[in-house]
Amino acid sequence: MSSYSGVTSDHFNGTHFFDPDGSPPKSLREVLRWQFGGGRQRVRWPDWVPSPHADIPPARVEGAGVRFSFVGHASWLIQTAGLNILVDPVWSERVSPFTFAGPKRRNDPGIAFEALPKIDVVLVSHGHYDHLDVATLSKLAARFSPRVVTPLGNDITMRKADSAIKAEAFDWHDRVDLGNGAAVTLVPTRHWSARGLFDRNKALWASFVLETPAGKIYIVCDSGYGDGRHFRRVAEAHGPLRLAILPIGAYEPRWFMRDQHMNPFDAVKALADCGAVQALAHHHGTFQLTDEAIDAPAIALAEALDAANLPRERFVALKPGQVVEV
């Protein structure tokens, strides 16, 4: 298997990436303990939970505005500065190396693929199947031929699957000019990456800070909370932030998920740490990856905001197809 090779750094040892302020991924033994150990309390999701919303986005959003359309799970269409930007696009039925098994979609994408405007840029945060979907990237390449901005090593996965995918790989803290006054910077996040059993952390993972005419948008596709330093560092280096997109789902059981996925109470702390004016929630309600109920993240988010004495409208959990404009 081909994998990234490059100079060593404070987060790359020559063969594997690592987060000096994070935690390594759980071992196979711990995975088996979670999946098959006694006492597991997994809430089964309904087979189908349709969203009452469906978006038909405009061709472009010009001027100083930003339009956010929630596609589902961690997928977004962000329209700003005359650019159409997709984040972690997944239109596939399953997020799995197999088409016949693995987590299955429980609602349609909030935008039908045929209703997408011309896509200029795609941001892919890391290699997990619920974020890097080569089938969707291949369809996007065939229809729009967009730039695909991703952390180091994920470009190899993409080009191996389809040489037409225009992948550009970058390191943490690299700033990428997107044109029309927009840019994106890849920033460290508390997570890890893999596509199989033998390639753990051979590709990098990242969050994004997107510069727009309306201000900076902090896009966290997957992250644990830790002690919050990753979020505080983004505030220090890139603040002030107009809006943050933060994950709130796939967090139970905590002994297993704590280091890689925030729960809603963690996400509210992350919002305070990064200092964003407003937040949108994602990474919930479409694919069952963990043990909590389908509606548990949204319910817990409201409880976490109340406990922190924050207005619920400051941090909103959307359903696929819903739109927010700034």
**For position 145, what pLDDT does the model report?**
98
Q: Rounding to the nearest 10 degrees, give the CA dihedral for residues 277, 282, 285, 287.
A: -170
pLDDT tens-place string over residues 171-225: 999 999 999 999 999 999 999 999 988 899 999 999 999 999 999 999 999 999 9
Listed residue (283, 323, 325) closest to 69, CA to CA: 323
pLDDT by residue (tens digit) across 26-67? 888 898 899 888 778 899 999 999 999 999 999 999 999 999
Amino acid 38: pLDDT: 74
Total structural domains in the chain? 1
Mean pLDDT for 226-234 is 98
Residue 20 lies in a domain: no
Whether residue 240 has a cis bond before it, omega within 30° of 0: yes
The answer to whether residue 21 sits within a structural domain is: no
Q: If you average pLDDT over residues 248-276, what whole number do you get?
A: 97
Helices 264-274 and 296-307: crossing angle in degrees, nearest 10, is: 50
- 261 pLDDT band, cuts 50/70/90, is very high
Asked whether residue 1 is domain-assigned, the answer is no
Residue 114 lies in a domain: yes
Secondary structure class of 166 (helix, strand, coil): strand
Q: What is the pLDDT of residue 28?
A: 83
CA atoms within 13 A of residue 189's CA, in its CB half-sphere: 29
Note the pLDDT tens digit of each residue in 129-174: 999 999 999 999 999 999 999 999 999 999 999 999 999 999 999 9
CATH number at residue 63: 3.60.15.10
Which pLDDT value is given to residue 40? 84
* Statement: residue 292 has pLDDT above 60: yes
DSSP 260-315: T---HHHHHHHHHHHT-SEEEEES-SSS--SSS-TTHHHHHHHHHHHHTT--GGGE
Residue 17 within a domain:
no
Cα 112 from Cα 108, distance rounded (Å): 8
- Distance between CA 74 and CA 284 in Å, rounded? 8
Angle between helices 229-238 and 264-274 (to 10 degrees): 30
118 domain-assigned: yes
pLDDT in tens, 82-141: 999 999 999 999 999 998 999 999 999 999 999 999 999 999 999 999 999 999 999 999
Domain membership of residue 237 (yes or no) is: yes
d(CA 91, CA 229) in angstroms, rounded, equals 33
The answer to the question of residue 5 being in a domain is no
Per-residue confidence (pLDDT) for residue 32, from 0 to 100: 85
Distance of CA 143 to CAs 56, 131, 139, 155, Å? 17, 20, 6, 19
CB within 8 Å of 299: residues ≥ 6 apart: none
pLDDT at 39: 77
DSSP per residue, 40-58: --PPPPPS----S------
- Distance of alpha carbon 227 from alpha carbon 237, whole angstroms: 18
pLDDT at 1 (0 to 100): 52
Domain hosting residue 303, numbered range: 28-325
Q: What is the pLDDT of residue 2?
A: 73
In sign, the C-alpha dihedral spanning 146, 150, 152, 157 is negative
Instruction: Please check the confidence at residue 68 and state whether its pLDDT lies above 70.
Output: yes
